[in-house]
Amino acid sequence: MRITHSWMLVVTVLLAAVAGVAPAQEPARRNLLLTQPGWEIGGQVSSYHYEEPGIMKLEGERAGFVGVYTHTNPKRVYWRFDLRLSYGLLEYESVGTGTIDDVPDWIGEARAVIGRDYLVGDNVALSPYIGFGYRYLFNDLRGYSSTGAAGYRRYSHYIYMPIGVTARFRIADAWVIAPTAEYDAFLGGRQVSKLSDTGSGFSDARNDQDHGRGYRASLMFESRHWAFGPWLHYWKIKDSDVVPIGFGFGAMEPENWTREYGVELRYRF
């Protein structure tokens, strides 16, 4: 997993721009158009689809937990840290090797972003942000498919830079609607395939991924204490490098895409 110096320079410059000097206008802090400080906990349900075109796919329903902590300062700059843990029993289908039911699949994600609120009139605010994210996935395909093919465990690690903006529109005295759009700049990935689980004599593969991108969108309804609404996550990752696995063979993590969408409910305290 490699992160270039140029990406680090971009991050440094953008962080400085987002958190730059701004007039102190904290009296409006409790305005619902602005980012609200505090802790949030909640849950989500989603529909998940992962595919390596022409090779295999995994799909099914998931449920998860989310936790968020947000800190604000008098210059309307905010820092947000959020965690996500999601689990599903998915359906596996592969060209030539059959199907497997109820495949355990875990996703864990940790993110830290910094941003600033900008009021645009009395009923609209914009909150751009930038940060770092880490995504972990564990997929357990051990066992045998419908055609007798042996499966194995897969571990996925992504590091990325979220760049996004949340807009808030007042729709009532106690509620705002908050759409968010985000681009996830892929900084690097590592895929670990435990081919030794198959008993074939192949060694485990550790593939680096250097090229890809992601997108996120959500439409949340927010009050002082509650936030709920639909969301969408999407990833598209290019072919990895090729590594030797024994007997003169090499292994590659093929180009793939992931789409996940669902609904989320959080409580702030």
Average pLDDT per block of 10 residues along the chain, 269 residues long: 49 48 44 96 98 97 98 96 98 95 98 97 96 98 95 98 98 95 98 96 97 98 97 98 96 97 97
Q: Specify the pLDDT at position 96.
A: 87
Q: Specify the pLDDT at position 13.
A: 46
- List the domains of the chain with CATH numbers: 5-268 (2.40.128.100)
Amino acid at the residue 203: S
From CA 70, how far away is CA 85, in angstroms rounded?
18
Rounded alpha-carbon distances, angstroms, from residue 9 to 6, 42, 128, 142: 5, 35, 19, 42
Q: Specify the pLDDT at position 1.
A: 53
The SS3 call for residue 6 is helix
Q: What is the pLDDT of residues 8-53, one digit of tens each?
A: 454 444 445 444 434 344 444 469 999 999 999 999 999 999 999 9
- The answer to whether 196 and 205 have CB atoms below 8 angstroms apart is no
